[in-house]
Amino acid sequence: MSSVHAIAHSYTPRWPEKPDAVHAVELRGVGLSIGDQGILNNIDLAIRKATTTAIIGPSGSGKTTLLRCINYLARPTAGEVWVGGQLVGHRERNNRLVPAGERLLRHHRRQTGMVFQKFNLFRNMSILENVAFAPVSSGICTREEANDRARRLVARVGLAHKLDSLPEQLSGGQQQRIAIARALAMEPKVMLFDEATSALDPELSREVLHLMQELAEEGMTMIVVTHEMSFARNVAHEVVFMENGSIYAKAPPAELFSDLAPERVQTFLAA
């Protein structure tokens, strides 16, 4: 046993990890500044497991940056990001927190799956290959296991008949469903959606929103940046309203979409 382990053990057990039976994600005082510009300010947010949180707010309010901080695509300049009971981006060495190396960071990032407005499937790979790619390349599955998993997930999103197609042979809504399957293939603890339906016309949006609702009902933990107020109202357990890089209001939808909400939120929703 290494001496580092022995010291860690006699100190606090595995300091950058804290078993958390309740929360899938916890942000504590998270901030991100670029120069003297505060893009995110002192964000505190605890997301219970198996819940869906909708994030709404005006353009430029920091919604995308917040999601990027949760999976460390953007490194916060203040505060702590905990995902699945792990302090993202850090490890313990000689009783001190130090930045995680690339390998550990990749492990941390795998705890979150991200779905973007642009689905960005690999154009020259089949649907099966798109979904099986990351589990194989990251070494968490054999090719055979990854293919089995991909077949199951592609069927799950209703596209089993498209396994051998190329992305360009699918509609935008179908491609986004595959992008969701691709994220699920890494078995993330949390799914992050950034305006996943904004590029789709209403009919194709609906099929993607329907899939997202099913995932929510199956108990996936989801954080969903969206302009789809009906999704926020009907599916989310909590709705967060962001403005100027801060959380301005947070409440269950029945409250946030009512005249109990702060006037600023009501004005935004009315627009």
Ligand X SMILES: Nc1ncnc2c1ncn2[C@@H]1O[C@H](COP(=O)(O)OP(=O)(O)O)[C@@H](O)[C@H]1O
Residues that bind Mg ion (CB under 5 A): 64
Pick from 24, 25, 27, 61 the residue near ligand X by CB under 6 A: 61
Contact call for residue 39 and ligand X (CB under 6 A): yes
Q: Which is nearer to ligand X, 4 or 34 (CB)?
A: 34
Non-local (6+) Cβ contacts of 200 within 8 A are 172, 173, 176, 208
Smallest gap from residue 108 Cβ to Mg ion (A): 22
Between 166 and 199, CB nearer to ligand X: 199
Three state DSSP letters for 257-268: CCCCCCHHHHHH
260 binds ligand X (CB under 6 A): no
- For residues 235-258, one letter each, b for 16 or more C-beta atoms within 10 angstroms of the residue's C-beta and e for the rest, the string is bbebbbbbbebbbebbbebeebbe
Minimal CB distance to Mg ion: which residue? Answer: 64
Decide: is 128 part of the binding site for ligand X (CB under 6 A): no
Q: If binding is defined by CB under 6 A, does position 226 make contact with ligand X?
A: no
Does 190 bind ligand X (CB under 6 A)? Our answer is no
Q: Which of 7, 34, 98, 155 binds ligand X (CB under 6 A)?
A: 34
By CB under 6 A, is residue 59 in contact with ligand X? Answer: yes
DSSP 8-state secondary structure symbol assigned to residue 125: S
64 touching ligand X, by CB under 6 A: yes
99 belongs to the binding site for ligand X (CB under 6 A): no
Please choose which of Mg ion, ligand X, none residue 197 contacts, taking the beta carbon within 5 to 8 angstroms, the exact cut-off set by kind.
Answer: none
**Residue 2 binds to ligand X (criterion: CB under 6 A):** no
CB count, 10 Å around CB of 141? Answer: 20
User: Which one of 6, 7, 44, 60 is in contact with ligand X (CB under 6 A)?
Assistant: 60
Binding of ligand X by 89 (CB under 6 A) = no
- Cα separation, 60 vs 236, in Å, equals 22
* 63 binds ligand X per the rule CB under 6 A: yes
Q: For ligand X, which is the closer residue by CB, 61 or 205?
A: 61
DSSP of 158-211: T-GGGTTS-GGGS-HHHHHHHHHHHHHTT--SEEEEESTTTTS-HHHHHHHHHH
Binding segment toward ligand X, per CB under 6 A, in 53-61, 88-96, 108-116, 167-175:
53-61
Distance CA 192, CA 28 (A): 18
Phi, psi (degrees; rounded to nearest 5) at 223: -120, 120
Other CB atoms within a 10 A radius of the CB of residue 166 amount to 16
Kindly tell me which of 64 and 130 has the beta carbon lying closer to Mg ion. Answer: 64
Q: Which is nearer to ligand X, 64 or 176 (CB)?
A: 64
Counting every residue written for the chain, the total comes to 271
| DSSP assignment letter at 100 | P
How many Å separate Cα 210 from the centre of its chain?
Answer: 18
Q: Which part of the chain contacts ligand X (CB under 6 A), choosing from 5-13, 54-62, 118-126, 135-143?
A: 54-62
Alpha carbon separation from 169 to 126, 161, 205, 250 (Å, rounded): 10, 12, 18, 41
By the criterion CB under 6 A, which residues form the site for ligand X?
34, 39, 59-65
